[in-house]
Structure 1
C-alpha cells in the first residue's frame, strides 16, 4: 500500500531536481501529496482491520472444525450405544417370550389344580349327602360328618352316645346308631374304624384307670353295639382309643372339651367304590338341609 506514495514522492523530488517550479505548481503538488498520504493511512487502517478480521475468522473456523470433530466422535459413540441397545432389546424380547410361555404353562397347571379340587369337592359332597340324608335335623346337632380325601369321618358327641362318665351306650343313642349302621351296611365292603377320644380331664373310676381305657372302652362299646344290635359284620370293624391325645379343639374351656369328647366312625372306601357314589348321588329335592353342627355342653367323662 505504501509503494504508490513512494513513487509519488520520487516524482516530486525528480521534478524539483530538474529545476524550480512555481509556487502555484508546488502547492498543487503538495496538496496531491497530502491527499495521497491520507489515502495511504486510510488504506493502511483498512488493511489492519482486515488482518484482524481474518485472524478472528481463522480462529472461528478452527473452533468449528474442532466442534465438528467432537460431534463426529459423539455420533460414533451414539451409534455404538444404539447397536448395543438393539442387541440387548433383542435378547430381552427372547427372555420375555420365554417368561410368557412359563406364565402360561403355570396358569394351565393352576387351572388343572382348581378343576381337580372342584371335582374332589363335588365327590366329597356327593358322599356326604349319601351318608347323612337319613339323619334328622336334631341328630345332625350331635353328628358331624366330614369327608377328607375320600375318607369319611362321622363324629358322635359323648352326650348323645354314653351315660355320664361311662362307656355304656345310652338308650337315646339307639335311633342314631341304627341309621349309621344302615349306612355302614349299605356299603358293605368298606372298612370301619371306631375311634374313641376324650378331653384332658382325668377319669376317676375304680374300673377305669385313665382316659386311654375310657376311650378304648367307649369305642369297643360302639363296635359291639353295631355287631350285636345291628348285625354289622365284625370283620369290617376295628375298635381303637386315642385318649386325650387327638384333640380337635383347646381343652382350656368347656366348649373345647365338649368337642374333644367324641367317638369317630371312620369309613374308608376303595377307589372304585368311591367313584360308584357318583351314580348314586341323590336328587336336589332329596338332599337334607344344610345345618351347622352344634355341640351342646356335655358332662365330664
Structure 2
C-alpha cells in the first residue's frame, strides 16, 4: 500500500514537469479518486477483518457450547442408564421384599391356625370336663391358662390328712379325668402335688413336704394308670409348699393350698412337629410355584 502511494506521488512529480496544467488537473483528480477508492477499500478490509475475528470468536464459543451440550447429553444418557439399572434393582429388591412379607404372613397364618386348632381342642376338653363328665364339685376347679387345661382338686377329696393313700371317693373323680385323657392320646397329663407350709413331721419314709407332694402325685398317677390311661402320657411332679394360692396364715387358707393339680396339655414335641410339618408343606408349595 505504501509503495503504491509513493509511486503515485513520484508519477505526479514526473508528470507535473512534462504535462500541461489541464492534464495535471485531470491526473490529480484521478489520483484523488484512486485515493478515495483505496481508503474505502481499506475501511472495508478492516471491517471485514474485524467481522471475521468476531465471527471466529462466535464460532469458537458455539463450538464450546456444542461440546458442553454433547457432554451434558452423554451425562444424561449415562444417568438414565444408571437410573434404569437402579430402578430395575429397586424393583427386584421390592419384589423380593414383598415375597418375603408374603412368606412371613403365610408362616404367621399357619402358626395361628395351629394355635387355633390347639385352642379348639383345649376348649373341647374343658367342655367335656365341665359338662359331659360332670366335674361340678365346688372343690374341683377347672380353668385354662396359656392354652393349658388345669384341674385343681382339693386335698380333702383325694387323701386323708398327712397321707398319700388315695381315697375311694378320689378314684370316682379320677375316673372322670381318665375318661377325658384317654380321649386325647396326643395330650399329656401332668400331676402336681401341693402342700401347705406346715412342716411334715410324721416320720416314716417321707422326710418333708417335698416328699409328701411328690408321693401324692405318684399315687394319683398310679390310679390313672389303673383306670386305663397310657403311662406314656403321665407325668408326676411335686411342688411342695412353694406355689401357694393364698398365704398360709390360717387353717382355711392352708386347706386351699393343699391340693393336687392335673394339667392336660398337648405334647410339646408333637406341637412343634405339627408346626414344622406346616413349614415343610409351605416350602414345598413355594418350590412348586
Tell me which interval the TM-score lies in, with the shorter structure as reference length: 0.5 to 0.7
Label 1:145 to 1:184 Cα distance change in 2 as closer, same or farther (>3 A).
farther
Quick one: distance in 2 between partners of 1:20 and 1:217?
Answer: 166
Q: Which has the higher contact order (CA 8 A, sep 6+)?
A: 1
Partner of 1:197: 194
**Unaligned regions of 5+ residues in structure 1, if any?**
271-301
1:85-105 Cα distance to aligned partner (Å, 9 max, x none): 434544554454444334333
> Structure 1 residue 139 and structure 2 residue 138: aligned?
yes
Q: 2:178 aligns with which of 159, 175, 184?
A: 184
Q: 2:120 aligns with which of 122, 140, 143?
A: 122
Q: 2:238 aligns with which of 218, 229, 242?
A: 242
- Following superposition, the deviation at residue 144 of structure 1 comes to 3.7
- Following superposition, the deviation at residue 128 of structure 1 comes to 0.9
Partner of 1:213: 211
Q: Is the 8 A contact 1:195 1:265 kept in 2?
A: yes
- Following superposition, the deviation at residue 215 of structure 1 comes to 0.9
Quick one: distance in 2 between partners of 1:87 and 1:192?
Answer: 61
Quick one: distance in 1 between partners of 2:92 and 2:235?
Answer: 63
Partner of 2:271: none
> Structure 1 residue 254 and structure 2 residue 251: aligned?
no
- Following superposition, the deviation at residue 111 of structure 1 comes to 1.8
Q: Is the 8 A contact 1:146 1:152 kept in 2?
A: yes
Q: How many residues align?
A: 251
Partner of 1:79: 77
Quick one: distance in 1 between partners of 2:266 and 2:15?
Answer: 150
Quick one: distance in 2 between partners of 1:87 and 1:241?
Answer: 65
Quick one: distance in 1 between partners of 2:157 and 2:8?
Answer: 149
Q: Is the 8 A contact 2:128 2:180 kept in 1?
A: no
- Following superposition, the deviation at residue 58 of structure 1 comes to 0.6
- Following superposition, the deviation at residue 152 of structure 1 comes to 4.8
> Structure 1 residue 263 and structure 2 residue 260: aligned?
yes
Q: Is the 8 A contact 1:216 1:241 kept in 2?
A: yes
Q: Whose helix proportion is higher, 1 or 2?
A: 2
- Following superposition, the deviation at residue 21 of structure 1 comes to 2.0
Q: Is the 8 A contact 1:216 1:239 kept in 2?
A: no
Quick one: distance in 2 between partners of 1:269 and 1:100?
Answer: 35
Label 1:158 to 1:52 Cα distance change in 2 as closer, same or farther (>3 A).
farther
Quick one: distance in 1 between partners of 2:138 and 2:266?
Answer: 24
1:10-32 Cα distance to aligned partner (Å, 9 max, x none): 7754652334527xx85x98788
Quick one: distance in 2 between partners of 1:186 and 1:37?
Answer: 137
Q: Is the 8 A contact 1:216 1:240 kept in 2?
A: yes
1:229-264 Cα distance to aligned partner (Å, 9 max, x none): xxx94665879452449x668x9x839x98975412
